[in-house]
Structure 1
Amino acid sequence: MLKTIYHTFVIVAFSSLFLPQARAQGEALQTDYTISFSGIKIADAKFKTTLNGDDYAIDGLVQASGLGTLITSLKVDAEVEGALKDGRPDSKSFSLKYRDGDYARDYLAYYRNGRVTKATISPDPGPRDSNWVEVTSRHLRNVIDPLSAMMLPASANPCQGSLAIFDGETRLELKLAPAGSRPFSTDGFSGRAVGCAMRFHPIAGFERKDEDIDFLAHSTELVVWFALNDRLNVYVPVLAHIPLKIGRITIYATKFGVS
């Protein structure tokens, strides 16, 4: 279950923005979220994306709050560095620190030209059992980190194609499809949001018999909604519904603007 929630946050809550060819320089986009489980608030999240020429940096924090503090001490810190090449993100580094009670795991990955050059997990998880799908060298080509994965050139139809992601342990793909539009309002935004239906496909670095991952992989209900920030001309996730076997996680933007 911990790993499933980890994937949920990394793939969706950590989704940063759709980045166009024309970019503001030296500005930072601040987006805050409330995260609830089956209608009960369990966490808050804050993400800051800084653009400086073709370089970008993303800092994220997810932390238990509300009634969530009664059942978890979840805290997730993430950092990404990368550069834009031909209008698309090219990962340089990805780090994530996951804490929940006595459970602690640090993920670190370095990339060059779409290839993973180094990846570490601390503490070392040790030998895996026979249900573990091993990551091989062929899985580490033409990939991107999970935060940069959503940084696609803005277009009339951004929700298409697939994303090959490596998060330091797991190789997965997200397949995107348009899911219409809807009105959305929050602090800093009022207008229409664009929906992206996403299909989660684990490739390697996971347990074959993990029921939660299998449920997410077969779900057709994973949808993320994006809104346009006029100042930076970027699409940013503002609402997401992530189905789990025992309920649903909802991520809702409470702040949307340039800091």
Structure 2
Amino acid sequence: MLRSSHALLASLAVALPTAASAATLQSFKGEYTVSVHGFSVAKASFSSSYEGDTYSIEGSVSSAGLATIFDDTRGTVSSKGKISGKQLQPQAFRADYKSGEKASMIDIQFANGAVTATKVVPAPKKRNPKNWIPLGASHLASVLDPMAATVIHADSLDKVCGRTVKLYDGEMRANLTLTYDSKGSTSVRGYKGDTVTCRLGFEPVAGYRKNRKSLDYLRKRSRIMVTFAPVGQTGVYAPIHATVGTKIGTLTVSAERFEATE
């Protein structure tokens, strides 16, 4: 259950407008639908506020549609931190979720861009050292939590792609590599304008089991595309649409609302 819940977080992570380098308070609202084969399987809603060099995000996620029959998952997520230049520096991340009657939690604490503590409930099962790639201290430096990992500070749409992001989800460290694909435009509630689409490469680094089929599929065969749009005039670019190829079909994350509220 832990890994499937992490997968839900990773899927929804592409849908999180976050920190803005702003001298005054700014707030944003994002609402998203996750679907497979045209059927809604999850909903997400996030409220973000940014002031000076700090950011704070609160959100909720839940299964939807037919997915509730098989895995009724609901939860809340939060992230806060600072902005240093063009880089986000998380201070704390927490996810509390419940699948059926089973409650789970992930809590990650950071300092100076590095992970200082991680608590996962229920605790992960004992790992077989023969096929487990362990985490080391070097793996937990300059990393981003699932909410901050896919939000980009850039000077323009042209500068969004062409970078590698270090993700830590409370168990696994992975690299997300963004390469340019195309430009376009879109219109949703709160935003109408230009976008840029990047292809996202997924590479597990540590904190995972070797030869895990789902990870091998994401790394070698999955086509992951993420479309970014500007968050107001902040210099921040957040995903407004994404598709992830999976064994059961293409998972699509679409914004229904993407707008400044203050």
TM-score in terms of structure 2 length: 0.89
State the distance in 1 between where 2:186 and 2:12 align: 18
Alignment deviations for residues 146-197 of structure 1 (CA, whole Å, 9 cap, x no partner): 2222333222321111011212111111011111122312111222321011
**Among 160, 171, 174, which residue is 1:172 paired with?**
174
Tell me the matched-pair count. 258
Unaligned runs of 5+ in 1: none
Partner of 1:163: 165
Partner of 2:62: 63
Alignment deviations for residues 214-246 of structure 1 (CA, whole Å, 9 cap, x no partner): 101113510110122435453221110011112
- Kept after mapping to 1: 8 A contact 2:152/2:237: no
Partner of 2:239: 237
After TM superposition, list the pairs within 5 Å mapping 1:1-259 onto structure 2. Answer: 3=3, 6-7=6-7, 9-10=9-10, 12-17=12-17, 21=21, 23=22, 25-129=24-128, 130-155=130-155, 156-219=158-221, 221-230=223-232, 232=234, 234-259=236-261
State the distance in 1 between where 2:18 and 2:64 align: 28
Query: Which stretch shows the higher mean deviation, 235-244 or 124-133?
Result: 124-133
Q: Helix, strand or coil for the counterpart of 2:170?
A: coil
Instruction: Quote the offset at 1:102 in angstroms.
Output: 4.5
RMSD (Å), alpha carbons? 2.2
**Change in CA separation of 1:14 and 1:49 when aligned onto 2, cut-off 3 Å:** farther
- Kept after mapping to 2: 8 A contact 1:18/1:152: no
Q: Helix, strand or coil for the counterpart of 2:195?
A: strand
**Change in CA separation of 1:19 and 1:97 when aligned onto 2, cut-off 3 Å:** closer
- Kept after mapping to 1: 8 A contact 2:19/2:54: no
**Change in CA separation of 1:80 and 1:88 when aligned onto 2, cut-off 3 Å:** same
Alignment deviations for residues 76-105 of structure 1 (CA, whole Å, 9 cap, x no partner): 321111001123211111111233224443
- Kept after mapping to 1: 8 A contact 2:13/2:150: no
Alignment deviations for residues 102-140 of structure 1 (CA, whole Å, 9 cap, x no partner): 444311111111211111111212311243322122211
**Change in CA separation of 1:254 and 1:16 when aligned onto 2, cut-off 3 Å:** same
**Change in CA separation of 1:11 and 1:54 when aligned onto 2, cut-off 3 Å:** farther
**Change in CA separation of 1:2 and 1:250 when aligned onto 2, cut-off 3 Å:** farther
**Change in CA separation of 1:9 and 1:243 when aligned onto 2, cut-off 3 Å:** farther
State the distance in 2 between where 1:171 and 1:238 align: 24
Matched AA of 1:179: D
